[in-house]
Structures are given as C-alpha cells and as structure tokens.
Amino acid sequence: MRKLFYYTVLVLSLALATSYSHASSQINDRAALADLKVGQAVFLIDIADAKKMNFYLEVIQGTFKGMQDQGVTPDFVLVYIGPSVQYLSTSPTAEIEDTHSALLMEIEGNVEKLAGLGIKQEICAVATDAFAIDNQTLLSELNLVGDGFISLIGYQAQGYHLVPVY
C-alpha cells in the first residue's frame, strides 16, 4: 500500500511539473506583438514616491528585454514630469536626500542602465522649475526639454504609443 502511495505521488508530481513547465513555456506576448518588428513607446513617468519610481524603472528595463527576447526591437523614450524630477538631480533638496538617500543611488543606477540600453530619457523644464531643481544638476543621461507634454504629443504624432506610469 505504501509503494502504491509513493508511486501515485511520484506520477502526480511528474504530471504537475510537466504541465507547469509546458504552461510557463507558453507565456508570451505573441498575440499583441503579432508581426511587429519595432515597438515604439513613450513612457510618461509621473511618480511622487521614490520607491515606486525606482520599481518602475526596473520594470521598464524588463519590458525592454522582454520585447527583445520575443524578436521585437524596442524603441523607448521616457519623459519625466511632475514630482518625478525631484529624484533626478545630483543635488536633491535636503529633505529628499534625508528621506531617500539610498533610493536616489538606485534611481541614478537605473537611469544609467536605461541609457545603456539605448533608451532616450527626457526631463521636463516646466517640472524642474516647479520643483526648484537646478537644471545644471540633472543626471547626465537626461535630456532637458521645454515641456514634457509637448514632447509626449510629438512622440505620439511620430507613432510612439503612450504608456502612462503613475
């Protein structure tokens, strides 16, 4: 009886493992990507929480790599607006520095990684002005634009698809 029990457990375990590995090998974005060769996306980054912003910068890297793995060339632009700009300066305010010092280093590292992937990153001058960020202190990977909304409109007119990240 004991042998039968172990045999049954073994067979069920193998069946589950086989079905799980089969199911996980089917997880992809085939239907959405269809015959797409290049995936153009403009990400609107408007996040007040440093931890959440850092998380999404990592997710975007994964999205980039996921498209590549599925045979689509990603063409991404990130446009930082609103409170997001507070975390993108080499000289943050004392409050931001005190509250988020470790996260600021991670965010800077992720901005560098995104640039290393060839992802364009823009930062809105309207937002840097609103949050009193000295434009001379912006991370070097960022391109300062006059108005992030205008940038978004322009990229969408060029065929980029808006991905809002709040």
Residue range 79-119, pLDDT digits in tens: 999 999 999 999 999 999 999 999 999 999 999 999 999 99
Range(s) of the domain holding residue 134: 31-165
* 8: in domain: no
For residues 39 and 44, what is the distance between their CA atoms, to the nearest angstrom? 16
The answer to whether position 69 is within a domain reads yes
Residue 129 lies in a domain: yes
Is residue 101 domain-resident?
yes
Query: What average pLDDT score do residues 28-50 get?
Result: 97
Asked whether residue 42 is domain-assigned, the answer is: yes
**Is 117 inside a domain boundary?**
yes
Residues whose CB is less than 8 angstroms from the CB of residue 100 and which lie 6 or more positions away in sequence, other chains included? 50, 87, 92
For residue 22, is it within any domain?
A: no
Give me the phi and psi of 42, to 5 degrees please.
Answer: -115, 120
**What is the domain-level CATH number for residue 82?**
3.40.1260.10
Q: What's the number of domains the chain is made of? A: 1
- Whether 12 and 47 have beta carbons less than 8 Å apart is answered as no
- pLDDT over 50 at 5, yes or no: no
**Domain-located, residue 139:** yes
Cα 8 versus chain centre, distance: 45
